[in-house]
A and B are shown apart, each in its own frame.
Chain A
């Protein structure tokens, strides 16, 4: 332990702790801007500088470790003057139209300027405006708001290993852009939105579809159905000031009903359905021994990542659509038929913790119902904004269930929102599908939690199934490299089943979550999903009565011809330069 004196407060911290964290322990919140708790500090902004007695100059507290006997001062006159001037410098090159900014009231720069009492703009503005990048269906990038803190590039290159966004040019011409400044929509961007959730200002945000959804809701001719992803029920509360991880399933259904959605259904229903399809697929591959390991396909960020960087893995991918897309297809086929509503009148909206889902729903192959299966995707943030706009306070809502035939769900469906959840849900049902008996201990602890790559071995009546779970594309890359090496060596891989989620923490850490998120909040949300799972009367997907009904009345059985046609999809090889589908390849139909 290292003893440090910070503003006359003695504090002991482990060796290597930064002065910033030591100061927090001592009760001093040193202001920061570029620093983010989940990332390695880059030292771009300089706001967090402090004075250390006997050390010349000011030191960045985020990257300076404590030293034995340091006497640190965090708010001397010099430090305070410099901080203010740095903020003024940043503002001289920042589009300060705060009132109309998406981040108004949740902007870290705005908050910092207020905290430091910046009341004049000392330096003249740089007038040049750069074009806003609207090429992506998922993410908008406004370079005029960007403060070059480097969080987005770090998350894109180091955590996701996508390298869509990078720092280009030099000096005051430095910009964060895609290669050739071609725009996110013409890049290898996988739309995961991790850049968006790490951005401290309004430089990155989702391509909003709020307007289209309001229009549909206001149109008396339309029948608007809504589905909500598993993770949304543990993050929507934060939009209304509730503690991170608050479980609001019932309130969420009630609030959506009050927004005038015609049917409030649930993605969790489709998650259970996915388990039936994917579990059956797993069994058939285990039996045939072909194309193992089977790899999950729920995460659209992961899908594009795989199509771009690991398209040799296409034969290993589950052909099952993601829950969102299964739901979309069924909303315009099964639901329309059962409820007697013409499918052309149905507008299918989904609420997602995700920005990549916006891309997924617009993939050209996602229209097997004869219409675009899912019309609009809103992030958790967008639906929060709509509710606030309509004067609905989620906190005050009663608990209401979802509507029938596509609203029931089990505990297995709900844990889809956390890393390892799909795997755990699949194991619960696969055991039954193979043995005809129910798995007794439903909690598959080794696949839970935030470890980057998790492994487990499941004994299904003497057959050992080795599984692996990866979250974040960086970890997925690591795992895929290992799998590819094993396959190349002797055509075999130690794993039979792999779950991959593009975002750290799984969907609870998705690009559509509330601003100001971090790993601690993601962990809290994940835990809440497992709590809901425990409370559910049914905890295995195959026990979902609505799922049983859809097979009885409509699909036949899992992996039937009709299921295949409606609920399964195929993948494309993509270019590592612009992320576009390469000519010549329709691999797995």
Chain B
């Protein structure tokens, strides 16, 4: 099983061949071999990506960065800077968004157009330059928002049907409405950028690729609920994201888009970045609030919900990065436009991180309601090496394993619920026929044992006992009753855990046992 770190697409069409695409491709392949990266980086040919007059075009995935006018002379720098060190080569960045996006073109010739709302600018603009964001209609939405009353903004979001992208599947407008109506002289808006799901890095793409979009979303959210202060709680490991965000905030202040009396609207708002310190549970909104107050990240009991009593017991809205990145687009283009994407119950798009045994792991944005089959086979190029699909863990570590019968289910928050599954953070870990479900489950359970905050009995001791059981099964030392024990413990955790972290662990367990009971059973010595 050969997994690659980056896919480099080189656009081959009449225009690019004229510009020397073949020579660039050859130089690129050789340079990758020379740098010893051939195991990790795959060069693929792709068709026209819809940009003309930009010379040779190269797209690097999973980041989704577009370079234009690339010459043979640029290759050593491009390989060294981007593919080796992970830094963008700014001078080569493509300035204009191609009309039609091609995520990948495998030899099969499958093409899939990728609608871009959230990731509209990521990889296309220089994220460190506010002017580039403004040039792409950036910060227009705040002007429009200010012309509506806060109630009007909330109404527009309500019409758009936006569902929070953090995983709980709660309508954003409702959350905002609660906080807007809650009495309080001080209110807060918090962006949850503590992206902690293993194998998920979609928020990072927004934070690093388009920080101003998040800032704009937060200004609008703050305006709608009546918050003058916002916090971005960001995963400590994301140093580049933090740096970019801080730069972007400084620029926005310079342009008086943050601060007192923004655009002479009478509305004042400012932002701070708070660095997390490494605790998965802080993705839960009340634990995040505790952490923001400088404490251990133990979840609080709900109710009261943060919208009524959150940070410092003031009305607080906690929204995910992706949710907030949707806001400027909805306000600027209108709810009706937004509803043109996605499903009736869940309009818009979803950004997925797809990893595992697929041809093109990476980040994709797809309409709500896209099937798992489309995501795997059309966006991610199918299962690697033509193997068979076994299952996918969808929704993060506490998501559900979905087997082949789920491939054609339309995925959105509402619909997956019907099938006892979740969209969660949009993480999709694909496993092929060779993958071992016990190993997989073992990894998930170890993760939860490590990340349980320790507050309540069911989660603290439940995760520890689950690990004992699965370790025994994995070592082929299990007993028959162990399988029942797995479900028993996870059921108790579902019913009695204090917060969603412990409650949701039953999903991976019950779904794994649903599809692969026999496989787990086979590990038990007779």
Residues of A at the B interface (CB closer than 8 Å) are: 42-46, 49, 57-58, 60, 63, 78, 82, 85-86, 89-90, 92-93, 122-124, 126, 147-148, 167, 169-174
> Is there an interface contact between A123 and B465, defined as CB atoms closer than 8 Å?
yes
Q: Which residues of B contact A42 (CB under 8 A)?
A: 455
Bound form: Cα–Cα A78–B496 in Å: 11
14 A-B contact pairs sorted by A residue (CB < 8 Å): A42-B455, A43-B498, A89-B461, A89-B492, A92-B461, A124-B465, A126-B464, A147-B457, A171-B449, A171-B451, A171-B453, A172-B452, A172-B460, A172-B461
B488: Cβ under 8 A from any A Cβ: yes
- A107 and B491 CA atoms in complex are apart in Å by 28
CB distance from B236 to the nearest CB of A (A): 15
Q: Is the interface of B mostly helix, strand, loop or mixed?
A: helix
Kindly identify which residue among A63, A123, A167 contacts B301, using a CB–CB cutoff of 8 Å.
A63
Contact present for B495 and A82 (CB under 8 Å):
yes
Chain A residues near B485 (CB-CB < 8 A): 122-123
CB distance from B368 to the nearest CB of A (A): 24
Residue of A nearest to B491 (CB): A82
* Cα distance, A437 to B309, chains bound together (Å): 58
Residue of A78, A169, A173 ringed by the most chain B CB atoms within 10 A: A173
CB <8 Å contact, A174 and B454: yes
Task: Please tell me if the beta carbons of B460 and A174 are within 8 angstroms of each other in the complex.
Answer: yes
Question: Told that A85-B492, A170-B452, A172-B449 touch, could you supply 13 new A-B pairs with CB distance under 8 A?
Answer: A43-B455, A43-B498, A44-B455, A82-B492, A86-B492, A89-B458, A89-B461, A89-B492, A124-B465, A171-B453, A173-B454, A174-B453, A174-B454
User: CB distance B464 to A172 under 8 Å?
Assistant: yes
Chain B residues with a Cβ under 8 A of chain A: 279, 296, 301, 449-458, 460-465, 468, 485, 488-489, 491-492, 494-498, 503
What separation, in Å, do the CA atoms of A123 and B482 have in the docked complex? 10
Residue of B451, B456, B489, B498 with highest tally of chain A CB at under 10 A = B456
Q: Whole-angstrom distance from the CB of B434 to the nearest CB of chain A?
A: 32
Contact for A171 among B454, B488, B492, B496, CB less than 8 A: B454
* Pairwise interchain contact B457-A49, C-beta atoms closer than 8 A: no
Q: Which A residues lie within 8 Å of B455 (CB)?
A: 42-44, 174
* A57 CA / B492 CA spacing, docked (Å): 10
Q: How far is the CA of A45 from the CA of B461 in the complex (A)?
A: 11
Task: Output the nearest chain B residue to A94 by Cβ-Cβ distance.
Answer: B461
Which of chain A's residues has its CB closest to B448's CB? A171
Do the beta carbons of A171 and B463 come within 8 Å of each other?
yes
Max chain A CB contacts within 10 Å: which of B301, B449, B457, B497?
B457
Is B496 within 8 A of A49, CB to CB?
yes
> Complex: how many Å from CA A42 to CA B468?
27
Q: Contact check: which of A147, A167, A172 meets B296 at CB < 8 Å? A: A167
Q: Is the CB of B488 within 8 A of A170?
A: no
> Across the interface, which residues of A come within 8 angstroms of B456, CB to CB?
43-46
Q: Which 9 A-B pairs have the closest CB atoms?
A: A174-B454, A46-B496, A172-B464, A171-B452, A89-B461, A58-B495, A85-B492, A171-B454, A45-B457
CA distance A305 to B280 in the complex (A): 37
Residue in contact with B457 in the complex, picked from A46, A126, A173, CB distance below 8 Å: A46
Which residues does chain A contribute within 8 Å of B495, judged by CB atoms?
Answer: 49, 57-58, 78, 82
Residues of chain B lying within 8 A (CB to CB) of residue A148: 454, 457, 460
Closest to B467 in A: A172
Chain B residues, CB < 8 A from A85:
488-489, 492
In the complex, the chain B residue whose C-beta lies closest to that of A65 is B303
Q: Are A169 and B454 in contact (CB under 8 A)?
A: yes
How many angstroms from the CA of A42 to the CA of B300 in the assembled complex?
9
Rounded to whole angstroms, the CA-CA distance of A89 and B466 in the bound complex is 11
Cβ–Cβ contact A90 & B461, under 8 A: yes
Asked if residues B454 and A172 are in contact (CB atoms below 8 Å), the reply is yes
List residues of chain B with CB within 8 A of the CB of A92.
461, 465
A82 to B495, CA, bound (A): 8
Tell me, rounded to whole Å, the shortest Cβ–Cβ distance linking A39 to chain B: 14
**A167 CB contacts on chain B under 8 angstroms:** 296, 454
Residue of A nearest to B298 (CB): A167
Interfacial chain A residues near B457, Cβ < 8 Å: 44-46, 86, 89-90, 147-148
| A170 touches which of B454, B491, B492 (Cβ 8 Å) | B454
Residue in A57, A86, A122, A169 whose CB lies within 8 Å of B494: A57
Q: How far is the CA of A282 from the CA of B296 in the complex (A)?
A: 46
